[in-house]
Amino acid sequence: MTKYPQLLILSYSLGPIQVLVMHLGALLPFWTGLSWNALLYGIVLYLVRMLAITGIYHRLIIHKSYQTSAIIKWVGCFIASSSGQMGPSWWKGHHQNHHNNSDQLDDSHSPNLPNTGIKGFIWSQGGWLLVGNSWPDRLPADVEADWGLKLIDRFHFVPLILLGAISYGIGGLEFLGAFFLSTTILFHGVATVNSLSHLWGQQPFDSKDQSRNNWFVALITLGEGWHNLHHAFQWSARHGFSIQDGKIVYLPDPTYWFILLLEKLNLASNVKLPSEAALLEASSIKPEKLLVKT
Ligand SMILES: [Zn+2]
Ligand SMILES: [Zn+2]
């Protein structure tokens, strides 16, 4: 493991503390109650921050499935880090490790190894963050070279605290509780990509790991649950593809729609998609496999 400077270790050590505090704070609504306005506020916070994690952290910063200006990257990462799920360098470091070692022993959060069953599920759903694996082996050079992203990474807790303070300013303890509850559900929503999408669902593509297309995860993560396609074509801006009866099926993918919107507004370019031929070629059920040998 790389030897990190003290300040970075201090910053990254806050990760597990954030997770614990958000879970404790999620109990606040049981005491304050939750009005329709506070509930709506929590839902909006969930959707906006989920989109920042899926559309900016994951598909832009990590996989470079499209290009944008530095401003979009910074603003998107600032919003994403208000989720209490660390900054862009930390995220990319761990996620690259996941793709490089998917469902192998060195995978940061596989539900299949080293544990299986309910233990594997709890590990991938967040346990891995609490047991001394809270910083990646190495940090991505491209993110580290961008001073704006690096600043957000080291001070990842500032947007989170700011959003908590704004929530309190808007509606007191009730809205602070809505913020904590939204943040906790968001944490578990994102984590289902690591857990359920490596356990349950279809494997229309030959990704050589346990990644699966899972409709439930896709529903709560704005399209990220089409995870088998993502492992087969990591650079694709659209994850919503499947194969049925030898034909391509286009699945709903709100994060891809968001990228298309950015493109329409001239805020995104070079949106990458696999060709139909490549998708069919990567299908896990090749036509020849269906032929009966004579
Ligand atoms: Zn995965
Ligand atoms: Zn990925």
Q: How confident is the model at residue 194 (pLDDT cuts 50, 70, 90)?
A: very high
Alpha helices in 195-294 (DSSP H): 215-220, 227-232, 254-264, 276-281, 287-290
> What percentage of the chain reaches a pLDDT higher than 90?
81
Residue 228 placed within a domain: no
Q: How confident is the model at residue 287 (pLDDT cuts 50, 70, 90)?
A: low
Residue 72 placed within a domain: yes
Residue 149 placed within a domain: yes
Residue 68 placed within a domain: yes
* Cβ pair 12, 90 in contact under 8 A: yes
Question: How many angstroms separate the alpha carbon of residue 193 from the centre of ligand 1?
Answer: 7
What whole-number distance in Å separates Cα of residue 166 and Cα of residue 82? 12
Question: How many angstroms separate the alpha carbon of residue 290 from the centre of ligand 2?
Answer: 31
Q: What is the reported pLDDT for 133?
A: 64
Mean pLDDT, rounded, for 2-20: 87
- State the total domains in the chain: 1
Average pLDDT, the chain: 93
Residue 125 placed within a domain: yes
Residue-wise pLDDT for 260-275, tens only, equals: 999 999 999 999 999 9
Residue-wise pLDDT for 45-75, tens only, equals: 999 999 999 999 999 999 999 999 999 999 9
Q: What is the reported pLDDT for 49?
A: 98
What whole-number distance in Å separates Cα of residue 145 and Cα of residue 74? 13
Residue 50 placed within a domain: yes
Dihedral of CA atoms 204, 207, 208, 213 in degrees, nearest 10, equals -50
**Least distant ligand from the CA of 108:** 1
Which residues are CB-neighbours of 281 under 8 A, at least 6 positions away? none
Question: How many angstroms separate the alpha carbon of residue 202 from the centre of ligand 2?
Answer: 18
Residue 33 placed within a domain: yes
Residue 100 placed within a domain: yes
What whole-number distance in Å separates Cα of residue 286 and Cα of residue 280? 8
* Cβ pair 22, 184 in contact under 8 A: yes
Q: What is the reported pLDDT for 197?
A: 94
Question: How many angstroms separate the alpha carbon of residue 292 from the centre of ligand 1?
Answer: 33
Segment among 13-27, 101-115, 221-235, 271-285 with least mean pLDDT: 101-115
Domain around 121: 6-201
Q: What is the reported pLDDT for 107?
A: 84
Q: How confident is the model at residue 2 (pLDDT cuts 50, 70, 90)?
A: low
